[in-house]
Amino acid sequence: MTTIKKAAVIGAGVMGSGIAAHLANAGLDVVLLDMETKFADAGVARQLKAGGFMDPAFSERIRTGSTKGDIGLIADADWIVEAVAEKLEIKQTLYRALDDVRKAGSIVSSNTSTIPLHSLVGGLPESFAADFLITHFFNPPRIMRLLELVSGKATRPEATVAIRDFADYVLGKSVVQAKDTPGFIGNRIGNYWIAVAQNEAIAFGLDVEEADAIIGKPFGIPATGIFGLLDLVGIDLLPTALRSLQNATPADDAIHDYDAEPPLIARMIAENRIGRKSGAGFVRLSADRKSRDITDLATGEYRPQKTVSSDSLEASRGDPRALMEHPGLGGRYASIVMEKALAYAAALVPEIADTPDAVDEAMRTGYGWKQGPFELIDRLGAGWVAERLKARGLAVPPYLALAAEKGGFYSVVDGRRSSLLPDGAIEPVAQSDGVLLLADLRLAGKPVEDWGAASLWDLGDGVACLELRTKMNTFNPDLLDAIGKAVERTARDFRALVIGSDSPVFSAGADLRVFLDIVEKGGREALGAFFDHHGHSTFKALKYASFPVVGAASGPALGGGCEILLHCDAIQAHAELSIGLVETRIGVIPGWGGCKEMLLRFSEPTAALHGPVAPAITAFNLIASAKVSASAFDARKLGFLKASDGITMNRSRLIADAKAKALALVENYAPPEPPLISLSGPSGAFAIGNILDSEALAGRATPHDGVVGRALANVLTGGPSADPLKPLTEDDVTALEREAFIDLLVTPATLDRVRHMLATGKPLRN
C-alpha cells in the first residue's frame, strides 16, 4: 500500500472541511486551504461545532492557509483533494497551480459529483492525468461510509489502488468503483428517486408526514423519508443536481420526466425556506419551539404537525409488497415511486456499474438504505416488479426481465453470495481481503452452537465468535446462560473467543422488562436470586477464562454491554463506538462489575491517579453522569478503552481485527491474577458527598439523583466505615454493587424511571 502520511484539501466549505476533518481523524497531517485563511479557519470551526472530528484535539492536525499565499504548503502532500466550486474553469485553473508545486507521484483527486473526469483533465499534462482520480465523498464525510472512486483512462493503476486501500483501511470507507458517468452511482439513482418521490407527493396531494412514513421504514429507508432528507441536505441543492443530470444525460433518460424545480420548491427557495441550514423547510419549529410546523404541499403554507394516518400503512403492517399493492392513496404513492426508482436502477446497469452489488452497496452506504435497489427487487420478487411495470405501461429494463426469468439478482452458490450479471453469467460477489462477516459464514454453513439468544461461530485458526442475538442485543436470562455455555464450549474446542456481530448495536444493556417483571412478581428476594445466578458469575467466568477474550465493539455498548467489554482481556473497537455506563439514568448503578472494573482501570499505575480517593472520584464523575463516548478515541480518553486496545476505522474489518488481536494473545496466555482493591473510605465518601451537595444546590441533580449518587459513592469508596488499609477482593466490591443495585431497583422512584424509559425511551428526572 502506498504510504499516505500528509494530505491537503483545497476548499473549506461544508464538504472540503468535512473531508479535512476526517483525514485528521485518520491520523494524517492535513493542510486546508481556501481563497483566504479566514475561510479555512472557519471550516475547521464548522467541523468542531458539527462533530466532524472524532476528538476535538484532532483539529490541531490541520494547518490552514490561503491558496494565494500558502499553496507551497502542499508541496510534500501525498494526496491532494480538490473540493472547490463545481465549475470546470475554476477547477482547471487550480489544477495548473497545484501541478506547479506538488511533488512527483502525489495523487490529486476531485470531490466533484457533477463533472466527468475526462473533462476535468482535458488539456492538462499527461503526467497530471496519470495521478488524477475522482474521490466522491458523501456528507458528512465522518459518518457516511460511501466513497465513489472513479479512475480515468490515463490514471495510473497504482494511484487507484493506493487511494482505494487507504480509504478502505484508514478512512473506514466502503469504496465503490464507479464509472465516469453523470452522477456516478449514488446520486444518479438517489436524485432520481428523490425527484419522483417529491413530485409525486405534490401531485397526489399527500401530507409530508404520510409521504415520509410511506417512503421510509417499510422499504428500509431512513426515517427522514423524502422531505426530511431534503430538509437535511438542503432543498435548494436538488434542483441544481437534477438540472446537472438532465444536461448530462440523453433526452430519453427518465431523469427528464420530472421538473427540477416545481412551483412549490421555487417558492420555498425564494422565501429561504431551504431546510435545516436556514431554520425552516418542509419542517420548522413552531414559534414557541415546543412543537413543529409542517409545509402543506397543496398551499405551501405552514400548519401544525399531524399524526400519521394511512389506511395503506395500517393494512400492509410494514410489508413493502403489501403496501405497494394496497389500493389506498398511500399504496398508490408507494407503488409509483418505488417501481420507477427500482426500474431506473435496473436500466442503468451496466452503464454506471458492472454488477448489482456495487449499486446496492452505494445506496446502502451513501443513502442509508438497509437494502439496495436490486436487493429490494429480490425481496419484492423480480417477476412481480416486472409485471407491475408492464401494468403501468412502463418498459421493463432488459436486466430486470433477465432477473425475472432467472429468479432474481442474487443467489447462493457453493456457500457464497453470487449475483446475476447483465450478460446472464453468475459470479460470486467480490469481498475485500481481510473482511470477515458473520453473514458470509451464515451462507456457507451453520454455527457451532445455536442457543437462540446467541450463537457460537468458528472463525478459523482456533478462534470462536459469540454472536449476541436478542433484540438490541440486550441481556436477559437466556443470553446470560448462553454466554456461560459459550465459555465452556470455547474452553473445550477453541483457543480464543471474540464477542461481536454484524449488528449496528453491540448491546443496549440489560433488558429492563426482565428486571421490572422480576421485581413486580417476586420483589427483592427474587431479584437477589437472579443476581446470584446471573450477571456477576457470568462476567467473572469470562474474565478468568483459560483463553483470551476480545470484545469486537461497534455502535452503542451501554450499561451491561459496556460491562461485558470491561471484563474482556482486550477490546477491538470500531472508531464510532458509543460506550458508557448509563444505569443512573434509570435510577440504579452498574450492577455487573462496572463500578469495580472502572475503579481498577483508574487505579492502574499508568492512570496517573494517586491514592484511593482520586480513582473513586474519577469513576464517580464518569458513572454518575452516565457519560457516553463520542467515538472510540473519546472512549480511550474516558477510560473505557485501554491504550493497548485497538481501534478499527472500517466497520467491515472489525471482527477480522478482533480475531487477529485474540490470536496475538493466545501464546503463553494466562488468566489475570485476581486483584485487591483499596477503597478510600471516609475521605472519598466525604469528597463525593460534597460533589453531590454542590450538584443539588446548583439545581443540576434531582432528589432521586442524590439517592442514586450516594449509593454509587458507597460502592466506590466502601462508605464512611470502610478501612482504606484493608484492601477488598473483587467479590467484596461486587457484593457492594449487588446490594446497592437491588436496594435502588425496588424503590418506587427507580421503578417510576424504569417504567417511563420503557414507555417513552427517555429518562425521567424525578
Mean pLDDT of 683-696: 91
pLDDT at 742: 94
In this predicted structure, the answer to whether residue 539 has a pLDDT above a threshold of 70 is yes
> Contact 183/115 with Cβ under 8 angstroms?
no
Question: What does 222-265 look like in DSSP terms, one character per residue?
Answer: -TTTTHHHHHHH-TTHHHHHHHHHHHHS-TTSGGGGS-SS-HHH
Residue 750 CA to residue 477 CA, distance in Å, equals 21
Which cell is 2 given? 502506498
Residue 262, CB-side half-sphere exposure with 13 Å CA sphere: 16
Average pLDDT, the chain: 94
pLDDT for residue 608: 60
pLDDT digits (tens, 9 = 90+) for 81-97: 999 999 999 999 999 99
Q: What pLDDT, in 10s, does the model give residues 489-504?
A: 999 999 999 999 999 9
Residue 361, pLDDT above cutoff 80: yes
Residue-wise pLDDT for 614-637, tens only, equals: 899 999 999 999 999 999 999 999
Note the pLDDT of residue 691.
Answer: 93
User: 191-224 pLDDT, tens per residue?
Assistant: 999 999 999 999 999 999 999 999 999 999 998 8
Strands of the sheet containing 292-295, edge to edge, are 283-285, 292-295, 302-304
Type of residue found at 607: A
- Read off the pLDDT of residues 212-265 as tens digits, 9 standing for 90 and up: 999 999 999 998 899 999 999 899 999 999 999 999 999 999 999 999 999 999
Q: 364: buried, middle or exposed (CB in 10 Å: 19+, 13-18, 0-12)?
A: buried
Model pLDDT, residue 723: 82
Q: What are phi and psi of 467, to 5 degrees?
A: -100, 115
Cβ proximity of 180 and 148 under 8 Å = no
Nearest C-alpha neighbor of 637 from the set 607, 604, 671: 607
Using an 8 Å Cβ cutoff, are 499 and 550 in contact? yes
Torsion (CA) 270, 272, 274, 275 in degrees, nearest 10: -160
Is the model's pLDDT at 606 over the cut of 70? no
611 confidence band (pLDDT: 50, 70, 90): low
Give residue 298's Cα distance to chain centre. Answer: 36
Determine contact, residues 337/204, Cβ cutoff 8 Å. no
Q: Which residues pair with 63 in a beta bridge?
A: 31
Q: In the structure grid, which three cell numbers stand for residue 364, read together?
A: 446502502
Outline where 8-70 has alpha helix (H): 14-25, 37-50
- Find out whether 266 and 253 touch, Cβ atoms under 8 Å: no
At residue 1, the pLDDT reads 45
Residues in contact with 327: Cβ distance below 8 Å, sequence separation at least 6, in sequence order:
none
What confidence tens digit (pLDDT) does each residue in 150-202 have?
Answer: 999 999 999 999 999 999 999 999 999 999 999 999 999 999 999 999 999 99
What is the C-alpha separation between 18 and 73, in angstroms, rounded?
19
Among 692, 608, 679, CA closest to 643:
608
Spatial distance between the Cα atoms of 640 and 443, rounded to a whole number of angstroms:
35
pLDDT, tens digit, 9 for 90 and up, residues 441-475:
999 999 999 999 999 999 999 999 999 999 999 99
Q: Is the pLDDT confidence value at 2 over 70? A: no
pLDDT band for position 432 (50/70/90)?
confident
The stretch 416-421 carries a mean pLDDT of 95
Residue in the block written with cell 472463525 = 459
CB 363 within 8 A of CB 222: no
How far apart CA 20 and CA 239 sit, in angstroms, is 27
Q: Which of 267, 400, 289 is nearest to 345 (CA)?
A: 400
Hey, what amino acid is at 107?
I
Which residues are registered as beta bridge partners of 570? Answer: 550
- Tell whether the model's pLDDT for residue 533 goes beyond 80: no
β-strands 132-137, 107-110 pairing: parallel
Residues with Cβ < 8 Å from 397, sequence gap 6 or more? 343, 346, 347
What is the C-alpha to C-alpha distance for residues 236 and 219, in angstroms, rounded to an integer?
A: 26
Q: Percent of the chain, pLDDT > 90?
A: 87
What is the pLDDT at residue 609? 59
User: Does residue 532 register a pLDDT over 80?
Assistant: no
